[in-house]
C-alpha cells in the first residue's frame, strides 16, 4: 500500500510538472492577431505596431539565411514587430512556383525559415500572395501560363476574370495556407506568427477603371481564402485609390484624378476583408508638384482613408507602404527623416484619437548589409543609416507606449 501511495504521488508529481511545462510552453506561443471593430487586438488588448517591408526575405533565405537572421535581429532591436513580405515568386529563375502547381521545395523551405526566424525575433508577418506587377512573375506570369494552356487571353487584366487563371491563383492560396513548416512543424494556417494574408500587392485593372472587376475578384478570393483559414486576418493590398462608388473622392483625393481600376470603399466592404490598407508615394504620384503640394496631398490621403476606414467601413487601417527615394530631387537624409517623422506622427495621432484604429505603418523598405544589388532607392539599412534608425526606434517606442496606455485605460 505504501509503495502504491509513493508511486501514485510520484505519478501525480510528474503529471503536475508535465502540466506546468505544457502551460509554460503555451504561454510562450504567440496569440493570433484578431479584430474587434476598428481595432486590431491580441488577447483582448489593442494591438499597435511599427513595421517594415522586406519583400526579399524568401528569395535571399534560399541563398543566405544569415542575412535574413541579421536583418530580422536588427529590426527587432529597432522595435519593429510586423514585417510584410512576399509568399510568391512565379516563373523565372529560382521561383517558388515554376509552373502552375509545381513548387521548388528548396525555395518553400526558405519561406519556412523566414516564418520560423520571424517567430524567433517576435516579429509577425503579413504574407502577400501574388503581385500586380511583373516583378517575381505576378499576374503577367499567371495569364501567360493560361495562354500556354490554350486559353484566349487578351490582357494581363484577364487575371481577374479568366476561370483557369483564377483556379491557378486559388490553388496557390491553398498550397501556401496548408503548407506545414518543415522547421516549426506548424501549418501556416495555424501559425500565429503570421498576422495576415494579403490577396495581392497593389491590385490594378486598366480594362475596367470603375473598380467593379477587382471588387468581384476580391469577393471570390476572400471567400476562398477564409474557407481554408478563418483564423488569420485578411487584407486586399490596396494602395487606396477611390473608385466609381465614390466619384467625388476620385477628384478630391486620387492623385491627378487617377482611376486605376480599384474602389477602396466597395472592395473593403467585402465581409471577409478584415483590414484596410493604403500606400503612398507622393514623389512618384505628384512628380511635378511642389513639396508643399505633396505634403498637403499626403495629409489628406491619410486623413480621408482613416476616416473612411473608421466611419464608413468600420475596420482598422494599416499604412502598408511609404518611403522617400534617394533619387528624389533635393533628397538628403534629413529630408527622408523628416518625411518619415511626419508619417509616423500622423499614424500615432490617428491611433491615439481613434482608440487604436490606425494600427500601424510599414516602411518601404528595410535591407540588410551587403544587399546593394537589391537597392531601389528607398532602402534603409538599420546598421548603417543611424539617424533614420533613430526615427524608427522613436516611433516603435511611441506606438508601444500608446498600446500600453490604451490597455491600462480598459483595465
Known active-site residue 117: no
Average pLDDT over residues 10-28: 42
pLDDT-based confidence at residue 29 (cuts at 50, 70, 90): low
Residue 3 pLDDT > 70:
no
Average pLDDT over residues 262-287: 98
Residue 22 pLDDT > 60:
no
Residue 93 located in a structural domain? yes
As a three-state string, the secondary structure of the chain is CHHHHHHHHHHHHHHHHHHHHHHHHHHHCCCCCEEECCEEEECCEECCEEEEECCCHHHHHCCCHHHHHHHHHHHHHCCCCEEEEECCCECCCCCCEEECCEECHHHHHHHHHHHHHHHHCCCEEEEECCECCCCCCHHHHHHHHHHHCCCCCCCHHHHHCCHHHHHHHHHHHHHHHCCECCCCCCEHHHCCCEEEEECCECCCCCCCCCCHHHHHHHHHHHHHHHHHCCCCEEECCCCCCCCCCCHHHHHHCCHHHCCCCCCHHHHHCCCCCCEEEEEECHHHHCCCCCHHHHHHHHHHHHHHHHHHHHHHHCCCEEEEEECCCCCCCCCCHHHHHHHHHHHHHHHHHHHHHCCCCEEEEEECCEECCCCHHHCCCCCEECCCCHHHHHHHHHHHHHHHHHHHHHHHHCC
Residue 19 pLDDT > 60:
no
pLDDT at res. 411: 54
Quote the percentage of the chain above a pLDDT of 70: 92
Residue 26 located in a structural domain? no
Residue 60 pLDDT > 60:
yes
How many domains does the structure of the chain reveal? 1
Average pLDDT over residues 217-233: 99
- Regarding pTM above 0.75, the answer is yes
pLDDT at res. 389: 98
| Per-residue pLDDT reduced to its tens digit, 133-169 | 999 999 999 999 999 999 999 999 999 999 999 999 9
Residue 131 located in a structural domain? yes
Residue 21 located in a structural domain? no
pLDDT-based confidence at residue 408 (cuts at 50, 70, 90): confident
pLDDT at res. 253: 98
pLDDT at res. 11: 43
Residue 73 located in a structural domain? yes
Output the domain CATH number for residue 282: 3.20.20.80
Residue 8 located in a structural domain? no
Selecting among 202, 239, 346, 379, the annotated active-site residue is 202
Residue 398 pLDDT > 70:
yes
Residue 13 pLDDT > 80:
no
Known active-site residue 198: no
pLDDT-based confidence at residue 5 (cuts at 50, 70, 90): very low
328 lies in which domain range? 47-409
Residue 25 pLDDT > 50:
no
Selecting among 117, 198, 239, 321, the annotated active-site residue is 321
Residue 294 pLDDT > 50:
yes
Residue 22 located in a structural domain? no
pLDDT-based confidence at residue 82 (cuts at 50, 70, 90): very high
Residue 12 located in a structural domain? no
Amino acid at each position: 500500500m505504501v509503495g502504491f501511495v509513493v508511486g501514485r504521488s510520484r505519478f501525480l508529481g510528474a503529471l503536475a510538472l508535465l502540466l506546468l511545462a505544457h502551460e509554460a510552453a503555451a504561454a510562450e506561443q504567440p496569440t493570433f492577431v484578431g479584430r474587434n471593430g476598428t481595432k486590431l487586438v491580441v488577447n483582448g488588448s489593442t494591438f499597435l505596431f511599427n513595421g517594415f517591408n522586406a519583400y526579399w526575405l524568401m528569395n535571399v533565405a534560399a541563398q543566405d539565411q544569415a542575412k535574413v537572421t541579421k536583418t530580422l535581429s536588427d529590426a527587432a532591436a529597432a522595435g519593429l514587430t510586423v514585417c510584410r513580405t512576399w509568399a510568391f515568386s512565379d516563373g523565372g529563375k529560382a521561383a517558388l512556383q515554376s509552373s502552375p502547381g509545381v513548387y521548388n521545395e528548396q525555395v518553400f523551405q526558405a519561406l519556412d525559415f523566414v516564418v520560423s526566424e520571424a517567430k524567433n525575433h517576435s516579429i509577425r508577418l503579413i504574407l502577400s500572395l501574388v503581385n500586380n506587377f511583373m516583378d517575381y512573375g505576378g499576374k503577367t506570369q499567371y495569364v501567360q501560363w493560361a495562354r500556354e494552356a490554350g486559353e484566349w487571353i487578351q490582357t494581363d487584366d484577364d487575371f481577374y476574370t479568366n476561370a483557369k487563371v483564377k483556379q491557378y491563383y486559388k490553388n496557390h492560396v491553398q498550397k501556401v495556407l496548408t503548407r506545414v513548416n518543415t522547421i516549426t512543424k506548424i501549418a501556416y494556417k495555424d501559425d500565429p506568427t503570421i498576422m495576415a494574408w494579403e490577396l495581392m500587392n497593389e491590385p490594378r485593372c486598366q480594362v475596367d477603371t470603375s473598380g467593379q472587376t477587382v471588387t468581384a475578384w476580391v469577393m471570390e478570393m476572400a471567400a476562398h481564402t477564409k474557407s481554408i483559414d478563418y483564423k488569420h486576418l485578411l487584407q486586399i493590398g490596396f494602395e487606396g485609390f477611390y473608385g466609381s462608388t465614390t466619384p467625388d473622392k476620385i477628384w478630391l483625393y486620387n492623385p491627378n484624378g487617377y482611376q486605376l481600376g480599384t474602389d477602396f470603399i466597395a472592395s473593403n466592404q467585402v465581409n471577409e476583408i478584415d483590414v484596410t490598407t493604403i500606400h503612398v508615394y507622393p514623389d512618384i504620384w505628384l512628380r511635378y508638384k511642389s513639396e508643399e503640394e505633396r505634403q498637403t496631398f499626403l495629409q489628406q490621403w491619410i486623413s480621408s482613408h482613416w476616416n473612411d476606414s473608421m466611419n464608413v467601413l468600420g475596420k482598422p487601417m494599416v499604412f502598408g507602404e511609404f518611403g522617400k527615394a534617394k533619387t528624389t530631387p533635393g533628397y538628403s537624409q534629413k529630408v527622408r527623416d523628416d518625411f518619415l517623422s511626419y508619417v509616423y506622427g500622423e499614424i500615432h495621432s490617428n491611433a491615439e484619437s481613434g482608440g487604436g484604429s490606425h494600427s500601424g505603418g510599414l516602411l518601404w523598405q528595410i535591407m540588410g548589409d551587403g544587399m546593394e544589388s537589391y537597392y531601389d532607392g528607398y532602402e534603409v539599412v538599420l546598421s548603417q543609416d543611424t539617424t533614420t534608425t533613430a526615427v524608427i526606434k522613436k516611433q516603435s517606442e511611441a506606438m508601444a507606449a500608446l498600446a500600453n496606455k490604451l490597455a491600462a485605460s480598459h483595465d
